[in-house]
Structure 1
């Protein structure tokens, strides 16, 4: 399919996979639930566990395994373990673009992207972009049937890109940008960071709505960072919301920025176009998510 066509906003139901570092913090869990509960818009075919390294993991491999386990936990609460395949992804970040490592997640992503008769595959990438970049390096032919929705980095004009997904694997970011695949990008600041919610609002809408809703409330409360006024950004639902309803995430097509050596963006004339989110409509997104969870009664 033509790249310009892939950059158009999707209409109707689309094929999709979700690449997630589900145990990194607490927003991926909401994104998994949202994607699972929006079957009229998203035909979710598989979920991939991505590596991460922070104070919740001992290594990138440990982060990936913990993410795999957390995906399983969410699917068990949703009674969906038998119908949603999960695949383990990379055990390390991309060390060298010349030597990408094939994993179960990467293999599955390549195979699904090559199913051109089923239409384009939308890849919701809400972790280090390692798994996705590896697939693009190993199978560059898939770029004609893949759209990557990437939550990573900050806005083009932001003075730095000190953002978790971006900083975890900058070589993979460069591989993604070099791949020429159709790219939808959600900057974290100042776009996705508007998806803030307080524990009190979360409890009001989800408490008592079932084991899944109670689990989301619990992990949110357990993650509390300090006393006093506190909100948490649920970053990752921005990517899912874009497919659920493109009006939730206003966007525009423009030239892709180049990556400087220091990890900041640089505007360069004549670059390939990508679609970038300019805003997230916080209230409609959370209203839609909470309504779906309440109706599911899980």
Structure 2
């Protein structure tokens, strides 16, 4: 989850006529576990929805939640994730676990005790990671890194079994909402040697996920009334009844403050799933792993431990893909 006033220049979606490349359906789906602070604003919900819409690409083995500011507590985060799971008829298929409320530094001393803060999510992450044999489990944290750091602390054997792709950080600049919500969790993950990738945010800059923004008119045109119809009717976090994600998306945008010129909101978290689906929609840069001091990055040029950061995202391709998936899954009248 990312929450910050941003100034982004809106670039319209251009729909092009392209050669369709068929995927080899014999290939195994990518196993993904999404760790989210789902109730902070509106990008986490779209990340979950995008993952569920791409059921030919992703095997979402579970969702874990963590608590960041403005999310109405850990229960609020859990409830919002559950709403999206229900809107896609995934209850009973995609397990949901409550994770860390407090920070890594506050929880770590109690990691060997039963009932520590975040244990259900942490134990689920560990159990799923240890099942992996010939592939790595993709952990997609789109909030603070607390649950991931705690899982590594409790069971270091998962380090070689997971790939962490985090929505967070303004690297090389300091700060960012997910990072600031638990700065103590960052170094334990980066320094563990786990495969670590940072999908940069960079508020207001065209090179970060903050540039993957949409205006309300696009949501009205491409989301409202679109997408699969659920067997469930949920009560939204702002009230109202919904039985398809497209209508809930429109409600979330209607209730949210818009930023920039023209007024828009970024779909930060969804970009993680988008570049996992198609790496050409972003640029990967490998660097020696930096160190976080306070909330600022310090480069360590000689560090043999490497990480990857992502930048320069193809806004039009990513947003159009969401809209196309919503249209394809809309029942015919």
Q: Could you tell me the TM-score, scaled by structure 1's length? A: 0.88
Work out whether 1:176 is the aligned partner of 2:208. no
Deviation at 1:228, TM superposition (A): 8.3
- Structure 1 runs not aligned, ≥5 long: 1-10
Q: Specify whether residues 228 and 244 from structure 1 end up closer, same or farther in structure 2 by C-alpha distance, changes over 3 A only.
A: closer
Distance in structure 2 (CA, Å) of the matches to 1:228 and 1:289: 22
Mapping of 1:272-287 within 5 angstroms?
Answer: 272-287=305-320
Give the aligned partner of residue 235 of structure 1: 268
Look up the SS of the partner of 2:125 in the other structure.
helix
Aligned positions, number: 278
Give the aligned partner of residue 267 of structure 1: 299
Stretches of 4+ moved more than 4 A in 1?
225-228
Distance in structure 2 (CA, Å) of the matches to 1:68 and 1:225: 25
Give the aligned partner of residue 238 of structure 2: none
Distance in structure 2 (CA, Å) of the matches to 1:115 and 1:227: 45
Look up the SS of the partner of 1:117 in the other structure.
coil
Give the aligned partner of residue 82 of structure 2: 72
Q: Deviations over 1:233-258 (max 9, x none)?
A: 11101111111111112212221211
Mapping of 1:125-204 within 5 angstroms?
Answer: 125-156=141-172, 158=173, 160-161=174-175, 163-189=176-202, 190=205, 191-204=208-221
Given that 2:259 and 2:265 are in contact with CA atoms closer than 8 Å, whether structure 1 keeps it comes out as no
Mapping of 1:2-151 within 5 angstroms?
Answer: 13-54=29-70, 56-57=71-72, 62=73, 64-96=74-106, 97-100=108-111, 101=116, 103-117=119-133, 119-151=135-167
Deviation at 1:178, TM superposition (A): 2.0
Computing the radius of gyration from Cα coordinates, the structure with the larger value is: 2
Mapping of 1:240-255 within 5 angstroms?
Answer: 240-255=273-288
- 1:220 corresponds to which of 253, 265, 269: 253
Given that 2:222 and 2:326 are in contact with CA atoms closer than 8 Å, whether structure 1 keeps it comes out as no
Deviation at 1:118, TM superposition (A): 5.4
Given that 1:49 and 1:105 are in contact with CA atoms closer than 8 Å, whether structure 2 keeps it comes out as yes
Given that 1:49 and 1:87 are in contact with CA atoms closer than 8 Å, whether structure 2 keeps it comes out as yes
Given that 1:50 and 1:127 are in contact with CA atoms closer than 8 Å, whether structure 2 keeps it comes out as yes
Deviation at 1:89, TM superposition (A): 0.7
Structure showing the higher helix proportion among its residues? 1
Given that 2:216 and 2:253 are in contact with CA atoms closer than 8 Å, whether structure 1 keeps it comes out as yes
Q: Deviations over 1:97-152 (max 9, x none)?
A: 44334511110100111113252100011001111111011111111111000111
Deviation at 1:227, TM superposition (A): 11
Look up the SS of the partner of 1:188 in the other structure.
coil
Distance in structure 2 (CA, Å) of the matches to 1:115 and 1:39: 21
Distance in structure 2 (CA, Å) of the matches to 1:227 and 1:19: 28
Distance in structure 1 (CA, Å) of the matches to 2:39 and 2:189: 23
